[in-house]
Amino acid sequence: MGFVRIDEVRVKHVIVFLSLSLLIVAPLVSSNQRVTEPNVVVEEYQMEGSTGYTVSKTSCSPQSEVVVYNGTVKDPGADWYSESFHSEIHTGITSVNVELSGTVPISNKISHISWAKFYGNPTLPLLNYSEVTVSVPLKSLRGSANITVYVYPKAWPDTEYRDYWEIATHLEEGNSETLVLNPSINRTYNLSSGWIVRSNILVDIISTEESLIQIGEVVISARSTEDLYPVTFDFQSPDGESLLLNPYMYTLRETDTHTVNGELACYPALELTRTGNITESSIFVQRTFNETLYLAAGQYEGVAGWFTMSEGISGWPHMSLHDSTFNVSFVVEPGDSILVEIRVTAYRLSIDLSPSFAYSVVWIIADEARYNGLFPLQETEYLFIPGSEVYLITLGASFLTSTYIFVETEGSTSVKVSITYPHLSFFGMILDWGQMIGLVGALLLLSVFVYEGIKNNFVGMRKHCNHRISFLPISLSFMTLILPWVNYTYERTFTNPAFTAFATIMVPIFTTFFWNPTSQVTPISSSNPFPNAIPIIFLYWIPIVYLSYLIITSRNCISHDLSRNDMHPLLRIAVIGGPFIIGCYYLWLCILGLYFIDIGLVAALLSLPSWVIVLRLEKRNNQIQSANDNSQSPINP
């Protein structure tokens, strides 16, 4: 019985045909899977406990001067958020550093000036205050900048304000200064029908040179004609869990509008009145865990529950009470420090999303409550809602087709929704079946390439110097294919929960890989790769395919094949300088501050210089070899 000889060429043809077929089929499978609905399982369970409130008292000393608020310009407790242009913001424990790039040239005639703005609105109960001071400490660690602080109090939830105060300074390098504003209390009273307002603050920094500005803690202090005592509020679920300890509850609020994307907004709140006070009641919305107001002695009464905000007849926001509200009352006596724990009607809505994506865009409608934001859903996450018989949950992301999930419940139960997408986990990476098929096809094609390259070309590196020196530019060219070119950090620090994801971009394959410290790596294809695809095809893929063809088929040194006179000069330029040209474009984007350089971009930028050096060395080696051959040839008589 003899051995059956395998036709090597036919096997290679079959493997190449199979791999190309898999690469063609892969996008079709991925597209079909993107529209596949996930598996959804809904479970209901009872919420323990009951609604009501508890008042606890301890003793304290009276105060006539109090610090109403202190926090950094990134403090979520006052809904601080920021905007910046050609600037980087670094958040510390007691300060925020702003790194400005100065004047950034865009072209010969156009340049941009770097700036950063911080917006916040701490709660400021004005009742019995005689003086309010807002102070913002500043220091220039490097360079100089112009800084302006604005304060414009307004009644909440009204959006109207008539007066504002501002103070400006120019800060030189090494100098420190505290900007202080004293808004007029009498003029602020005229803005409000109640006695609790929001002290809107804007810190505006602009610089024409590279600078590093440090912003310390913003402090709002107040003086009163009466003694003041701390009253702490804690809104809880019926079973006693503090609502504001759940970071997802912050998505109920928007910092720059009274509604959430034009929809109704619903908040746990307390409509509070001081008995005998001439002003109307005020709506207090707790924004931090155990938020404290400094109040004068007296009797306070109110209604607690969920308050719905909507457009009034005149166009101004209108607050109305939701169902299941109840009365709350407490008395502040001299020497009292009070904790008011308010257990409102609230149910848990839990979402268990699998697999662990880097982030998800989530919209939730539960009766009058609207939640909207980027959620880093890891394992089972939950938030609180006022109770609803119907939930509409919308999940989406760049890598998922939006999924709409309708959940019907009894309306008086907590709900857990388990959502499982038909994706696979492969070495910590989330892939769909199409991506898995494409990966198999790429590995098959790579196996043929490696086998033929070793057999036809790389074995010559031991004997020929030109083969060895060509290995460096060839390696750099293929490193650009498998390594990330640029990276950036995707941050949503102005929302709660604070969200940060990391991203690396593989330019040749139009794919960005996202992840966060607790998620799996999530690949996202560019939704609109054009017009970038056209130069990448001509300057990258055609040259890289031709270079692969030379490695597989040619037994000569690659640099020798690139130097042949019969090779089209445009093709030679594309092979030698194509990745370098694309790399220069992404280097420019990094200089503009849009990305950070990664190792793949370094390889692309080094590819052209390495090819130039190799071609020069090959020319020199050939000249030396030719001279040696002539010196060793016999001399004819």
Q: What is the pLDDT of residues 376-390, one digit of tens each?
A: 565 667 888 887 777
The count of other CB atoms within 10 Å of the CB of residue 379 is 9
Nearest to 346 by CA among 43, 48, 42, 41: 48
DSSP assignments along 476-526, one per residue: HHHHHHHS--EEEEEEETTSSS-EEEEEEEEGGGTEEEEE-TTS-BEEEE-
Query: Is position 307 within any domain?
Result: yes
Nearest to 537 by CA among 493, 479, 583, 579: 579
The amino acid occupying position 169 is T
CATH number, domain containing residue 364: 2.60.40.10
Query: Domain boundary at 308, 343, 378, which?
Result: 343
- Indicate if 383 and 268 belong to the same structural domain: no
- Whether the bond between 637 and the residue before it is cis, its omega within 30 degrees of 0, is no
Query: Is position 629 within any domain?
Result: no
Query: Is position 430 within any domain?
Result: no
- Identity of the highest mean pLDDT range in 91-100, 104-113, 188-197, 550-559: 91-100
Distance CA 49, CA 41 (A): 26
- Indicate if 338 and 352 belong to the same structural domain: no
Domain housing 395 = 346-425
- Indicate if 338 and 356 belong to the same structural domain: no
Nearest to 582 by CA among 562, 564, 604, 566: 604
Tell me what pLDDT residue 633 has. 56
Query: Domain boundary at 425, 440, 470, which?
Result: 425
Q: Residue range 59-63: average pLDDT? A: 93
Model-wide pTM > 0.75? no
- Indicate if 150 and 296 belong to the same structural domain: yes
- Indicate if 209 and 332 belong to the same structural domain: yes
- Indicate if 136 and 228 belong to the same structural domain: yes
Q: Can you name the residues that pair with 206 across neighbouring β-strands?
A: 115, 146
Q: Is the pLDDT of residue 163 over 60?
A: yes
Query: Is position 19 within any domain?
Result: no
Q: What is the pLDDT of residues 519-550, one digit of tens each?
A: 888 887 765 554 577 888 888 888 888 877 77
- Indicate if 609 and 576 belong to the same structural domain: yes
Q: Is the pLDDT of residue 295 over 80?
A: yes
Calculate the average pLDDT of the chain: 78
The amino acid occupying position 458 is F
Query: Domain boundary at 301, 326, 343, which?
Result: 343
Q: Is the pLDDT of residue 348 over 90?
A: no
- Indicate if 379 and 491 belong to the same structural domain: no
- Indicate if 252 and 368 belong to the same structural domain: no
- Indicate if 497 and 606 belong to the same structural domain: yes
The amino acid occupying position 444 is L
Q: How far is CA 81 from each of CA 78, 89, 118, 255, 498, rounded to the nearest angstrom?
A: 9, 11, 6, 8, 11
- Identity of the highest mean pLDDT range in 45-59, 253-267, 412-426: 45-59
Q: Categorize the per-residue pLDDT at 313 as very low, low, confident or very high, splitting at 50, 70 and 90.
A: low
CATH number, domain containing residue 198: 2.60.120.260
Q: What is the pLDDT of residues 180-229, one digit of tens each?
A: 998 877 666 555 555 666 678 899 999 999 999 999 999 999 888 889 99
Q: Residue range 576-584: average pLDDT? A: 89
Query: Is position 2 within any domain?
Result: no
Query: Is position 4 within any domain?
Result: no
Tell me what pLDDT residue 255 has. 36
Distance CA 427, CA 523 (A): 13
Query: Is position 314 within any domain?
Result: yes
Q: What is the pLDDT of residues 114-123, one digit of tens each?
A: 999 998 878 7
3-state secondary structure 282-323: EEECCCCCCEEEEEECEEEEEEEEEEEEEECCCCCEEEEECC
Among 30-39, 91-100, 325-334, which stretch is predicted with the lowest mean pLDDT?
30-39
- Indicate if 497 and 399 belong to the same structural domain: no
Query: Is position 172 within any domain?
Result: yes
- Indicate if 68 and 137 belong to the same structural domain: yes
CATH number, domain containing residue 514: 1.20.140
Q: How many domains does the chain have?
A: 3
559 contacts 461 by C-beta, under 8 angstroms: no
